[in-house]
């Protein structure tokens, strides 16, 4: 069962995951070809990530909005101060919007030559949170990410409390 380990930073967690997953990806690519291996391994990782958030959501008390607040705080507490540089565009109870101009996670995975792996493990976590924990009460939108070659990440959250 997955837990946010507050004793380890997100960066250290991603480095440890990369040390295991990159050799597995490389071996699968050598055996199956890049396209087939990526589809297999990255697909399995997406399913694993979704299951992690499903478990976290099931164990977190409260409404979908309260679960979102709790999990974002727990995850954010593991982010080091210099991991992200961003500009806040809107920070209100019903909407949070910001643009990330620098992301050390993207730098790490791009340096390792595995931005697709980084996108699954890092960038898509917000999608998994909404999909598996909050459902339609929290909307998430991102049209580009640094990890996938964008000049910035445009993060948009909107709270749509159910009546």
The predicted-structure confidence for 122-132, as pLDDT tens digits, reads as follows 999 889 988 88
Is residue 45 within 8 A of residue 120, CB to CB? The reply is yes
Is residue 42 within 8 A of residue 123, CB to CB? The reply is no
pLDDT at residue 7, as a whole number: 75
Is residue 128 within 8 A of residue 50, CB to CB? The reply is yes
User: Which tens digit of pLDDT belongs to each residue from 52-69?
Assistant: 989 988 998 998 888 888
Residue 32 has pLDDT above 80, yes or no: yes
Enter the pTM of the model.
0.87
Q: Which of 103, 104, 118, 99 is nearest to 156 (CA)?
A: 99
Q: Phi and psi at residue 161, in whole multiples of 5°?
A: -45, 135
Residue 163 has pLDDT above 50, yes or no: no
């Amino acid at each position: 069962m997955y837990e946010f380990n507050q004793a380890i930073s997100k960066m250290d967690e991603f480095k440890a995951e990369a040390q295991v997953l990159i050799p597995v990806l490389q071996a699968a690519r050598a055996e199956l070809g890049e396209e087939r291996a990526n589809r297999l391994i990255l697909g399995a990782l997406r399913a694993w990530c979704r299951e992690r958030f499903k478990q976290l959501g099931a164990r977190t008390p409260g409404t979908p909005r309260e679960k979102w607040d709790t999990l974002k705080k727990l995850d954010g507490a593991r982010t080091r101060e210099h991991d992200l540089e961003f500009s806040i565009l809107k920070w209100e109870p019903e909407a949070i919007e910001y643009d990330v101009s620098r992301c050390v996670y993207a730098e790490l995975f791009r340096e390792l030559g595995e931005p697709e792996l980084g996108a699954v493990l890092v960038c898509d976590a917000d999608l998994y949170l909404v999909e598996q924990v909050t459902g339609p009460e929290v909307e998430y939108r991102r049209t580009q990410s640094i990890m996938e070659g964008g000049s910035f990440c445009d993060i948009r959250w909107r709270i749509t409390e159910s009546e």
